[in-house]
């Protein structure tokens, strides 16, 4: 049964909010009539068009706490606390449905939000919170319901992907490309969460919680960013047949869940490695569909607003909300120390005899075996340094960290050893 008319209240008219209004002005679907009953915009701006005929305007979204004439609250302010949190929780308490793009809020308050939804038989939808224009939430929550998902991994942050891709393409350092990304609007003036992996961790927490029906607290996700990725490593990785990408990885491992965020080496032939620029890419592995791959714009006004509008339309089509219990399993979240995989290591050493055997001795002690090695000389002033790059076969992260701690203390080591994990995704 179709709902003839749905009333929405929009909180926040910034990048995504403007995109949504643009889409609503152009949206012509006779099946779902959307009426904007309220808009809360802190910034003074003009809203022209017939769709605003019955709209009440507020300059502070707080006013929505006492406004009741809507079916769906559309929260597009952002942030895990403050007014966005207040109005979302208030709406759910009032048994209203909510659509949001707010990954920070959803990942942090997953349990409380789901409890409220269950108690009040209402829904919060958040397609736009993960990978903007890729409908990955619907894929996990609807399309793959008959499958058992075993692993999800991918590039979930367009800003960091843009930086890593362009450092290599234009032979420029991290800082140069970051400034360029900010100038072009691909990175925010404060890009901390994009580059330190927090944004990816927020999104991974949502994907993992949804796929494995168990809350995966974002604060427990081991999380490394791209701030320390050096152009030199991108170039060496390239010459070895790899690209470096910031990945979010969540996988079931018996009764454990591995949730990791880190920059890692990927074979250039793999699906994910081919995704460059601001694009996002996600792979979902499941028992019947095997490997489902998605690529698309991960952010931006229109792709993100498309996800928001699709949630609004899907809510309007449900006469009665059905809530899917979302935290029925419990798994132990593992730490990075338990990772079993291969590594890329770049040693900067004095160029003298005994270096390789010194490294090899520590490898032997910690049960690490080398896969490949290359050596380059670098002249610094009058002294000669050696750059030694080693890739390894699979070993435990705990062993690798112990070996590196010992190696970094050896007297021929000139700089702290750089390491990246290698993922053998196809
Ligand atoms: N941008 C993207 O591509 C993207 C992609 C996926 C998800 N998201 C998520 O979407 C949400 C919105 O992001 P955005 O990029 O659109 O942010 P934004 O451009 O900063 O927009 C947020 C808007 O909310 C307004 N606002 C703040 N407090 C308010 C209040 N009390 N009352 C009324 N309005 C208020 C801000 O006003 P001022 O203009 O005065 O600051 C701003 O215009 C965030 O949760 C974000 O994580 C964004």
Q: Could you read off the pLDDT of 5-38 as tens digits, one per residue? A: 899 999 999 999 999 999 999 987 767 889 999 9
SS3 303: helix
Nearest Cα neighbor of 263 from 225, 301, 212 is 225
Q: Are residues 161 and 281 in the same domain?
A: yes
CB distance 40 to ligand 1 below 6 Å: yes
Q: Are residues 172 and 103 in the same domain?
A: no
Q: What is the CATH number of the domain that holds 80?
A: 3.40.50.720
Q: Are residues 103 and 154 in the same domain?
A: no
CA of 308 to the centre of ligand 1 (A): 13
| Spatial separation of the C-alpha atoms in residues 76 and 348, rounded to whole Å | 47
CA of 122 to the centre of ligand 1 (A): 24
Q: Are residues 261 and 148 in the same domain?
A: yes
pLDDT over 90 percentage in the chain: 81
First-residue to last-residue Cα distance in the chain: 43
Please check whether residue 89 is in contact with residue 100, taking contact to mean a CB–CB distance below 8 angstroms. Answer: no
Q: List, in order, residues 6 or more apart from 186 with CB less than 8 Å away.
A: 158, 159, 162, 278
CA of 403 to the centre of ligand 1 (A): 45
| Spatial separation of the C-alpha atoms in residues 129 and 422, rounded to whole Å | 28
Q: Are residues 190 and 246 in the same domain?
A: yes
Q: What is the CATH number of the domain that holds 359?
A: 3.30.70.260
The catalytic residue among 96, 103, 108, 203 is 203
| Spatial separation of the C-alpha atoms in residues 272 and 27, rounded to whole Å | 33
Mean pLDDT of 240-251: 97
- Average pLDDT of the residues of the chain: 92
Q: Are residues 49 and 72 in the same domain?
A: yes
Q: Are residues 280 and 141 in the same domain?
A: yes
CA of 103 to the centre of ligand 1 (A): 12
Inform me whether the pLDDT recorded for 326 exceeds 60: no
| Spatial separation of the C-alpha atoms in residues 102 and 206, rounded to whole Å | 11
CB distance 13 to ligand 1 below 6 Å: yes
- For a mutational test of ligand 1's pocket, the pick from 77, 84, 103, i.e. the residue with the most ligand atoms closer than 8 A to its C-beta, is 77
The values of phi and psi at residue 68, to 5°, are -120, -5
* Placement of tokens 């050596």 in the chain: 375
> Is residue 309 situated within a structural domain?
no
- Give me the pLDDT at residue 4, please: 61
Global model pTM greater than 0.95: no
More confident site: 50 or 186: 50
Structural tokens at position 294: 């998605």
Q: Are residues 235 and 264 in the same domain?
A: yes
| Residue burial 413-425, b: 16+ Cβ < 10 Å; e: rest | bbeebbbbbbbeb
> Is residue 290 situated within a structural domain?
yes
Q: Are residues 183 and 48 in the same domain?
A: no
Please check whether residue 272 is in contact with residue 266, taking contact to mean a CB–CB distance below 8 angstroms. Answer: yes
18 is catalytic: no
Count the residues in the chain.
Answer: 426
Q: List, in order, residues 6 or more apart from 423 with CB less than 8 Å away.
A: 153, 247, 249, 264, 265, 266, 341
- Give me the pLDDT at residue 321, please: 42
Q: Which atom of ligand 1 is nearest to the CA of 16?
A: 16
CB distance 12 to ligand 1 below 6 Å: yes
Inform me whether the pLDDT recorded for 314 exceeds 60: yes
CA of 265 to the centre of ligand 1 (A): 34
Domain end residue (candidates: 132, 164, 191)? 132
> Is residue 401 situated within a structural domain?
yes
> Is residue 326 situated within a structural domain?
no
Q: Which atom of ligand 1 is nearest to the CA of 40?
A: 33
Q: What is the CATH number of the domain that holds 153?
A: 3.30.360.10
Q: How confident is the model at residue 255 (pLDDT cuts 50, 70, 90)?
A: confident
Q: Are residues 98 and 208 in the same domain?
A: no
Q: What residues make up the domain containing 402?
A: 339-423
| Spatial separation of the C-alpha atoms in residues 78 and 35, rounded to whole Å | 23
- For a mutational test of ligand 1's pocket, the pick from 16, 58, 87, i.e. the residue with the most ligand atoms closer than 8 A to its C-beta, is 16
Nearest Cα neighbor of 71 from 119, 21, 6, 125 is 6
Max Cα separation, the chain? Answer: 81
- Give me the pLDDT at residue 322, please: 43
> Is residue 330 situated within a structural domain?
no
> Is residue 254 situated within a structural domain?
yes
């Amino acid at each position: 049964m179709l709902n003839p008319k749905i009333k929405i209240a929009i909180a926040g008219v910034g990048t995504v909010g403007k995109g949504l209004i643009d889409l609503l002005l152009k949206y012509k679907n006779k099946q779902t009539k959307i009426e904007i009953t309220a808009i809360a915009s802190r910034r003074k701006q003009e809203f022209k068009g017939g769709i605003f005929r019955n709209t009440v305007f507020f300059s502070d979204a707080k006013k929505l706490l006492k406004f009741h004439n809507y079916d769906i609250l559309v929260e597009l302010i952002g942030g895990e606390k403050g007014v966005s949190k207040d109005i979302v929780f208030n709406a759910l308490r009032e048994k209203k449905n909510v659509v949001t793009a707010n990954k920070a809020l959803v990942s942090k308050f997953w349990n409380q939000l789901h409890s409220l939804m269950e108690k009040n038989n209402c829904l919060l939808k958040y397609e736009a919170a993960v990978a903007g224009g890729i409908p990955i939430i619907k894929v996990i929550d609807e399309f793959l319901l008959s499958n058992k998902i075993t692993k999800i991994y991918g590039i979930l942050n367009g800003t960091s992907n843009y930086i890593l891709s362009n450092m290599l393409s234009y032979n420029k350092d991290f800082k140069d490309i970051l400034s360029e990304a900010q100038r072009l609007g691909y990175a925010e003036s404060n890009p901390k969460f994009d580059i330190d992996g927090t944004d990816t961790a927020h999104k991974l927490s949502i994907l993992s919680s949804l796929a494995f029906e168990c809350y995966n607290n974002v604060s427990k996700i081991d999380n490394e960013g791209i701030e320390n990725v050096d152009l030199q490593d991108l170039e060496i990785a390239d010459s070895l047949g790899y690209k470096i990408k910031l990945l979010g990885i969540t996988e079931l491992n018996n009764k454990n869940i591995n949730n990791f965020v880190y920059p890692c080496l990927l074979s250039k032939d793999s699906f994910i490695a081919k995704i460059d620029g601001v694009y996002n890419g996600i792979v979902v592995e499941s028992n019947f569909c095997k490997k489902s791959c998605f690529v698309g714009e991960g952010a931006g006004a229109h792709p993100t607003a498309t996800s928001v509008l699709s949630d609004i339309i899907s809510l309007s089509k449900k006469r009665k909300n059905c809530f899917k219990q979302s935290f029925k399993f419990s798994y132990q979240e593992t730490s990075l120390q338990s990772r079993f995989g291969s590594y890329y290591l770049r040693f900067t050493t004095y160029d003298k005899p005994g270096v390789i055997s010194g490294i090899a001795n520590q490898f032997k002690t910690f049960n690490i075996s080398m896969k490949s090695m290359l050596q380059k000389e670098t002249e610094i002033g009058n002294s000669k340094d050696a750059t030694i790059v080693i890739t390894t076969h699979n070993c435990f992260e705990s062993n690798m960290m112990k070996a590196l701690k010992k190696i970094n203390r050896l007297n021929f080591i000139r700089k702290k050893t750089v390491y990246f994990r290698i993922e053998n995704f196809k």
